Chains A and B, each alone.
Chain A
Amino acid sequence: DAKTTQPPSMDCAEGRAANLPCNHSTISGNEYVYWYRQIHSQGPQYIIHGLKNNETNEMASLIITEDRKSSTLILPHATLRDTAVYYCIVSGYALNFGKGTSLLVTP
């Protein structure tokens, strides 16, 4: 699986958009980009995934660059409950987790 690079931590004000970047320059053609988040002491929660095209669901939007070497997860209106560790994973099969980005949403 391709390796991903994420900033270790980010802050975001409540109500603002949270934009979480992820670099995956060694991604191969059949690998998907997945985003999960983990709130302390819970199992990871699925957010969104995509292959080439941008994706949007009720939780977030995923923007993948044309060369697929990086992506951005967008939480349009962050709330305090969005405080969590966010994992960007590039995978063709099993999901291997890196260290993720610890997002803190502040009042």
Chain B
Amino acid sequence: EPEVTQTPSHQVTQMGQEVILRCVPISNHLYFYWYRQILGQKVEFLVSFYNNEISEKSEIFDDQFSVERPDGSNFTLKIRSTKLEDSAMYFCASTVRTSGGGVGFGPGTRLTVL
């Protein structure tokens, strides 16, 4: 069964640096998402992406964040200037449709900001 994949599995960066987290959604899926989970807290929605544009974003997804689907297969999340509080697990997800079914999540990228 096809799965969402994410790279890297763990990223360590210095505060203020830019990071790019990468995801390869399932190939026939049309809707893509990023979620994050700070250690010990709940999973939180960041952004949804459809038809090459953001369809919805949360308050967390401020100007420091951006998403892109550069080549029709990858889906990236960029954090321009990382803060300590950006340390979290970042999960990519995709789905073929928006109603009814749940989404499948990738294994996550653990981001540690020092």
Physical interaction between A and B: no
A residues at B contact (CB < 8 Å) = none
